[in-house]
Amino acid sequence: MSNAQPTKGAGVAPFEPASWLPHPHLQTVLGKFLRPRLDPWVVRERIWTPDGDFLDLDLGPDPGPDRPVVLILHGLEGSTRRAYVRVLVRELSRERVLAVGLNFRSCSGVPNLQPRFYHSGETGDVALAAAWLRQRFPERPLGLAGFSLGGNVALKHLGEGAEGIRAAVAISVPFDLMAGTRAIETGTMGRIYTHYFLKSLLSKAELKRELLAPVLDLERVMAARTLRDFDEAATAPLHGFGGATEYYTECSSARFLDRIRVPTLLLQSADDPFLPREALPVEAVRRNPFLRGAFTERGGHVGFVVGRKPWRPEFWAEREAARYLGRALLEA
């Protein structure tokens, strides 16, 4: 772990980035492809929302009736099928923790039923999933983990009160959504990242054309060339915001950090291409004794690849997140 970035005693092992991945974009892109394609899920459960929609949750192997449970939130246009989620499930299983992955609306492989999707500040669905887990496992401590957009959602939820959550981890969080959106759209790699996310978002909008047509200007949506364009034309109006700026301002997790009263570990790289260094909430972490900041100089975005051999990579963030949650939930 680099001493160049302010950090607070987080109780995690030092991060020593793989020497063969020296650049943040290499950590980000190859980190995605190097993670093994595990299949840890045992069963899928569908729960219904008050507005007549559904959420699909995937449950991993249960280590026993007295062991903790962790709800995992994926990133933008991800799902519980993403390798980083599944690696965390494996690491939690090694700590004898039951992992449960929440698929945000439209992300489980089945289109959702209402004219809406999900977004960086949608905490109502997380609260619903957490309440379902507390009812199903009433005697077991419940934790929360989130990656990227899911990390932003997790921190906002914690800042809003997060009933029943005993400990949490957030990895590669876009704490400032405005700054993060600008960063992800900068330069050649930014255009590649933007194209990747937009292709998926626009495909979902097209799939739900009939449902969305009465509430959106679909020509404007389909003409989006940046994530901000999409948020202005689709995310904001669908979810009750006056525009992208209002959405980014109200939903950025940085403004909720001071309110968190749950032990929370933040695993974050200063070279994350999805967030400028100056947007790291260093002072907010210092002020709040419930936050444990592990800010590294390198690691990219949900990269954090370690190991000396490219054919035997290891993944620091998932390992340390699982270790932290395993300890914190039993101590809570």
Catalogue the active-site residues.
148, 272, 301
Q: Could you tell me if 89 and 57 are in contact, meaning their C-beta atoms sit under 8 angstroms apart?
A: no
Tokens of 62: 């249960």
The HSE-up count of residue 280 (CA atoms within 13 Å, CB side) is 23
Q: Hey, which bits of the chain come out as E strands?
A: 43-48, 54-59, 69-73, 98-103, 142-147, 165-171, 264-269, 291-296, 305-306, 314-315
114 burial level (CB within 10 Å; 0-12, 13-18, 19+): middle
SS3 of 319, please? helix
What is the C-alpha to C-alpha distance for residues 96 and 119, in angstroms, rounded to an integer? 31
What is the C-alpha to C-alpha distance for residues 31 and 40, in angstroms, rounded to an integer? 19
What Cα–Cα distance (Å) separates residue 130 from each residue in 48, 108, 138?
A: 13, 18, 11
DSSP state of 234: I
DSSP state of 17: B
Q: Rounded to 5 degrees, what are φ and ψ at 184?
A: -70, -15
Q: Which residues contact 207 (CB under 8 A, 6 or more apart)?
A: 111
Closest listed residue to residue 86, CA positions, set 37, 122, 132, 127: 37
139 burial level (CB within 10 Å; 0-12, 13-18, 19+): exposed
